[in-house]
Amino acid sequence: MKKLLLVLIWFVCLLGCKKEDFSYQSDFEKSYNAWLSFKSTSGNNYDYTVVSGSVFGFGSTTIITVINGKITARSYEAYRIAQSPGGNTTVLKSWAEDASSLNTHASEGALLLTLDEVYDKAKSVWLKADKKTNDISFVAANNGLISACGYYPNGCQDDCFFGINIASIKAR
């Protein structure tokens, strides 16, 4: 009887205790479903804004435009943030690319990724980073859509985030 009870407990746990294949899998799946809904209602036409910042006072904003599931434009602005409270932001550089000039500024700005590709990279790279050597994060604050995903090595002090920070996603 004891053996039967142990086998039954093991079997119930095997069925009910789902192990995640990657960090934040449940949150990712909810966000991915929200993405599929947004993609459908927007006709796969949207803009999203990627932001980056440095502890040294520099930052950037990249806006990527997607029409019918294809990237058609990208704009970029790099700036310096004054260190004093309420300090001004100084634009250091800005540019815009259209469909005919995409990736002509390959060394600057966010990568040319559609949100389908962002979700793929999140699932296959950023959320699969080694948990023993990295802190991993996933946030879905853009109406349930991905807003931050990535990792940084344990003990890192400055500017070592590998991933993406999306400030906004808007249907076109």
Q: Bridge partners of 165?
A: 148
* Predicted confidence pLDDT, tens digits, the chain (172 residues): 544 433 434 444 444 455 678 889 999 999 999 999 999 999 999 999 999 998 888 999 999 999 999 999 999 999 998 877 777 889 999 999 999 999 999 999 999 999 999 999 999 999 999 999 999 999 999 999 999 999 999 999 888 999 999 999 999 9
Enter the pTM of the model: 0.85
CA-to-CA distance for 121 and 114, rounded, in angstroms?
Answer: 11
Q: Is residue 125 within 8 Å of residue 151, measured between CB atoms? A: no
Give the closest residue to 137 by CA, choosing from 123, 126, 125. Answer: 126
Count Cα neighbours of 137 within 13 Å in the Cβ-side half-sphere.
Answer: 16
- Residues 45 and 68: their CA atoms lie apart, in Å, by 6
pLDDT at res. 18: 52
Helix (H, G, I), strand (E, B) or coil at 115: helix
Q: In what order do the strands lie in the sheet with 89-97?
A: 89-97, 70-81, 58-67, 46-53, 162-171, 148-153, 134-139
